[in-house]
Homo-oligomer: A and B are copies of this chain.
């Protein structure tokens, strides 16, 4: 099996921004859950009313997409065989390294709790000291150069349609292919993301959810 670097990009995860922390919708949400608004993960399903004033708000506050995409990647046969590296870059310029052996909470609220802890402490370890998640401030260009890929690909429905045969060739010929998959709900990739991709590929005529794009990519790599 091939070894693949998966980089989830423009991930719609961030803490509630300071500018809306005092909004009644945020205050009520935090009071009900006994959470500190400074360490609460932005979630458009609950904070929609507060988010309308935010720049680019339709791309933001969807930790559910990251949750499901990570569960998909972590449970893949490719990862179980030790042939996947999983990283995430968020819209607020955080880089997250994900251990291939981390067991994420299945329940969404607990996943958000884990992200909140990660923002606070920068690292999540087991009792034995094994690092499960690590977060650093790093922009996309630094992120990619630190991962040392041989070639970078962006999966996007606007890319060149890639047949399975072509993907198999990439997996055979490229030693460390890095695949970027967008983890946000709506809209186009940023110019920076597009610039950092050496090639743009499409897996389907239709727009796929992030987790579907990931499962299809990995499924072909597992052959």
Using a CB–CB distance below 8 Å, which chain A residues touch chain B? 43, 45, 62, 64-65, 68, 71-72, 75-77, 80, 106-110, 164, 204, 206, 208-209, 211-212, 215-216, 219-220, 222-223
Contacts and interface: CB of A to CB of B under 8 A. Distances in A.
A13 to B, nearest CB: 14
A110 B108 CA distance: 11
Given A211-B71, A211-B72, A64 B106 contact: yes
Secondary structure call for the A interface: helix
B45 A204 contact: no
* Copies of this protein, total: 2
A76 B212 contact: yes
A108 to B, nearest CB: 4
B45 A212 contact: no
A61 to B, nearest CB: 12
A180 to B, nearest CB: 19
A209 B107 CA distance: 15
